[in-house]
Amino acid sequence: MRIDGMSYRSVWIDNDEPDIVKIIDQASLPFSFNICNLRSVEDVYDAIADMKVRGAPAIGVAGAFGMYLATLEITVRTNIREHLHNAARYLSSCRPTAINLSLAVTKVLNSIFSEDLSRKEDISRKALLVAQEISDNEINNCKEIGRYGLEIIRKISLQKNGGSVNILTHCNAGWLACVDLGTVTAPVYMARDKGIPVHVWVDETRPRNQGARLTCFELANEEIPHTLITDNAGGYLMQKGMVDIVLTGTDRITRSGDCANKTGTYLKALAASDNNIPFYVAAPSTSFDLNISNGIDSIPIEERDAEEVTEIEGIAGGRVIRVRICPENTKASNYGFDITPARLIKGLITEKGIINANESDIVNLFN
Ligand code: MRU
């Protein structure tokens, strides 16, 4: 995507600095636009843990590039197999909910050992090639998801005699989260490009406010009409007929179609179901986990620092500040994700087409 006339991915490697993974620092947006240089596996781990790079596809790509950095650390004394397996375990453990991270890391690891490579240069070249492929594929996935999602938006607009389509989204499944384009935003941008009027209701997405901070930043940059709402306002808007479709991303989809996404997504799905509003999840095949079925029992849900709940970050007088929003010593819990059961999901928009959120459609998709 373009920022101030410059084209960016949210994670990348510059040809002229091939030993550095670059990321757009999502933790400082929208207050400042910074690029971070990651030079080691630890740097990648910290950037993912601190959510400087976040969003399921983007952390997968960052993890894959992290494996490439691990290959650069090989010396003559390194036990290569042990070193790379340790790096893969370490990176995969960084955030547990998005399956994309461990899938991408494992893919790089396996690609190295599937060939009989022993020279450091060959191992690094292979790791970089596969990580780049993973990155390019995620962007391509978004393009295809955009094409399929566009048709849903077009249909709704036709039903409204060409009226504006009101899309409600939660968290950020835009280009920052997906390296480029975004799973939720690609259909929106394509609809805009086709002259279909769209408007996006953006949930603020407490506690870290990815909706307010990142989705609003992206939509403003693309001049897409949008309105920021509190996380709890969506139900009322749905009751008043002000939402035509709910469209979110996901961090993991089980074999039976249950979806983990940022906390609060489930409540939107419940409200959408009560109001007969279609709830769609836009996700690449790299977010599916066919090894598990029941999302509530099986998807690991990340618990983050309580301070993310007891404090809030914003800007005042040009300075970024954090303030406490509750009495001192208030106990807080911070479940990062929740599970939307398949029965509440109208469809999964993937790069291979739109499917039902059920086992037979999902297994079929991978055959
Ligand atoms: O904790 P985050 O900000 O990484 O959570 C991200 C989400 O919940 C996104 O919706 C998800 O990763 C999908 S991005 C296509």
Domain end (from 137, 164, 181): 137
Domain end (from 97, 112, 137): 137
Q: Tell me, what's the pLDDT at 163? A: 96
Number of domains in the chain: 2
Q: Tell me, what's the pLDDT at 233? A: 98
Residues 199 and 124 in one domain: no
How many helices (H) and strands (E) the chain has is answered by 14, 18
- Closest ligand 1 atom to residue 178 Cα is 15
Q: Tell me, what's the pLDDT at 160? A: 98
Cis ω for the linkage preceding 18 (within 30 of 0) = no
Mutate to test the pocket of ligand 1, among 25, 54, 171, 175 (most ligand atoms within 8 A of CB): 171
* pTM passes above 0.85: yes
How many angstroms does the Cα of residue 321 sit away from the middle of ligand 1?
A: 24
Q: Tell me, what's the pLDDT at 252? A: 98
Residues 23 and 160 in one domain: no
Residues 318 and 179 in one domain: yes
- Closest ligand 1 atom to residue 262 Cα is 8
Residues 246 and 362 in one domain: yes
Question: Is residue 278 within a helix (H) or strand (E), and if so which, with residue range?
Answer: none
Structural domain including 33 reads 2-137
How many angstroms does the Cα of residue 75 sit away from the middle of ligand 1?
A: 36
How many angstroms does the Cα of residue 340 sit away from the middle of ligand 1?
A: 14
Residues 48 and 118 in one domain: yes
The binding-site residues of ligand 1, defined as CB within 6 angstroms of any ligand atom, are 54-57, 98, 171, 173, 177-178, 183, 210, 248-251, 261-262, 336
Mutate to test the pocket of ligand 1, among 10, 11, 48, 54 (most ligand atoms within 8 A of CB): 54
Nearest partner of 134 among 292, 243, 285, judged by Cα: 285
Residues 20 and 166 in one domain: no
Buried b (16+ CB within 10 A) or exposed e, 309-326: bbbebeeeeeeeeeeeee
% helix, strand, coil for the chain, step of 5: 45, 20, 35
Amino acid at 160: K
- Closest ligand 1 atom to residue 59 Cα is 4
Q: Tell me, what's the pLDDT at 65? A: 98
Domain end (from 85, 106, 137): 137
Distances (CA, A) of 233 to 205, 225, 227, 236, 241: 11, 18, 12, 6, 13
| Residue located nearest, by CA, to atom 6 of ligand 1 | 55
Question: What would the DSSP string read from start to end of 32-79?
Answer: ---EEEE-SHHHHHHHHHTTSS-SHHHHHHHHHHHHHHHHHT--TT--
Q: Tell me, what's the pLDDT at 206? A: 98
Cα–chain center distance at 169: 13
* CB within 8 Å of 342: residues ≥ 6 apart: 256, 257, 258, 259, 357, 358
Residues 268 and 328 in one domain: yes
- Closest ligand 1 atom to residue 182 Cα is 15
How many angstroms does the Cα of residue 153 sit away from the middle of ligand 1?
A: 22
Question: What would the DSSP string read from start to end of 227-265?
Answer: EEE-TTSHHHHHHTT--SEEEE--SEEETT--EEEETTH
Contact 162, 171 (CB under 8 A): no
Mutate to test the pocket of ligand 1, among 172, 176, 339 (most ligand atoms within 8 A of CB): 172
How many angstroms does the Cα of residue 117 sit away from the middle of ligand 1?
A: 35
Q: What is the mean pLDDT of the chain?
A: 98
How many angstroms does the Cα of residue 229 sit away from the middle of ligand 1?
A: 18
How many angstroms does the Cα of residue 210 sit away from the middle of ligand 1?
A: 9
Indicate which CATH number applies to the domain containing 172.
3.40.50.10470
| Residue located nearest, by CA, to atom 14 of ligand 1 | 173
DSSP conformation class of 118: -
Residues 332 and 357 in one domain: yes
- Closest ligand 1 atom to residue 261 Cα is 8
Residues 10 and 81 in one domain: yes
Choosing from 251, 258, 289, 338, the catalytic residue is 251
Indicate which CATH number applies to the domain containing 105.
1.20.120.420
| Segments in the chain below pLDDT 70 | none
251 is annotated as an active-site residue: yes
Q: Tell me, what's the pLDDT at 44? A: 98
Residues 154 and 58 in one domain: no
- The per-residue pLDDT for range 326-353, each reduced to its tens digit, is 999 999 999 999 999 999 999 999 999 9
Residues 102 and 209 in one domain: no
Residues 158 and 301 in one domain: yes
